[in-house]
């Protein structure tokens, strides 16, 4: 896949902290209930920590109690890329930033949450940066 933002691996390593690099570029997962945005109720826009693309809004964030920030829909459908993930002996749908290809988390459907889409975008806090809404 070709992305609007492409950088050599060495550049990503210098621009991102080691834990950010592990999640965003190597598809690691931050430990549950440790992320800075897990319980945040601040209104605003969540952007990709690697490239700044706007991905989610606080309007679609909900409490799933799963240990990571959860959203029921991206800001725009073209903001994220969905990729089949067969790692760890299961089939899941990985969520990546459509602008730079960075790993964000996974999306799950049919879990019974009372959301308009019946989806849970389970996203690593470390993949995001929140810009609070201006009052």
Classify burial at 5, counting beta carbons within 10 Å of its beta carbon; exposed 0-12, middle 13-18, buried 19 or more: middle
* CATH label of the domain that carries residue 113: 2.170.150.20
How far CA 7 is from CA of 49, 98, 135, in Å, comes to: 14, 14, 36
92 assigned to some structural domain: yes
Q: How many domains does the chain have?
A: 1
pTM above threshold 0.75: yes
76 assigned to some structural domain: yes
3 assigned to some structural domain: no
Q: Which long-range contacts (CB under 8 A, 24 or more apart) does 76-85 make?
A: 79/53, 79/54, 79/55, 80/55, 80/104, 80/121, 81/1, 82/107
Which has the closest alpha carbon to 103: 11, 10, 7, 22?
A: 22
Which of these is catalytic: 51, 97, 100, 122?
122
Q: Which domain holds residue 33?
A: 9-132
Q: Is 48 left (phi over 0), alpha (psi -120 to 50) or beta?
A: beta
122 is a catalytic site residue:
yes
Q: Spell out the per-residue pLDDT of the chain, length 135, in tens.
A: 789 999 999 999 999 999 999 999 999 999 999 999 999 999 999 999 999 999 999 999 999 999 999 999 999 999 999 999 898 888 899 999 999 999 999 999 999 999 999 999 999 999 999 999 986
Which has the closest alpha carbon to 15: 47, 51, 62, 68?
A: 51
116 assigned to some structural domain: yes
pLDDT of residue 134: 84
């Amino acid at each position: 896949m070709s992305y609007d933002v492409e950088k050599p691996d060495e550049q990503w390593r210098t621009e991102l902290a080691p834990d950010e690099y592990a999640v965003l570029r190597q598809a690691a997962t931050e430990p549950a209930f440790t992320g800075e945005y897990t319980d945040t109720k601040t209104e605003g826009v969540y952007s990709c920590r690697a490239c700044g693309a706007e991905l989610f809004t606080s309007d679609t964030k909900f409490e799933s109690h799963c240990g990571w920030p959860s959203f029921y829909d991206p800001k725009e459908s073209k903001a994220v890329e969905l990729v089949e993930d067969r790692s760890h002996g299961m089939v899941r749908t990985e969520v990546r930033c459509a602008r730079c290809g960075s790993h964000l988390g996974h999306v799950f459907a049919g879990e019974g949450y009372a959301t308009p889409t019946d989806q849970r975008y389970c996203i690593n806090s470390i993949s995001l940066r929140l810009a609070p809404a201006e009052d």
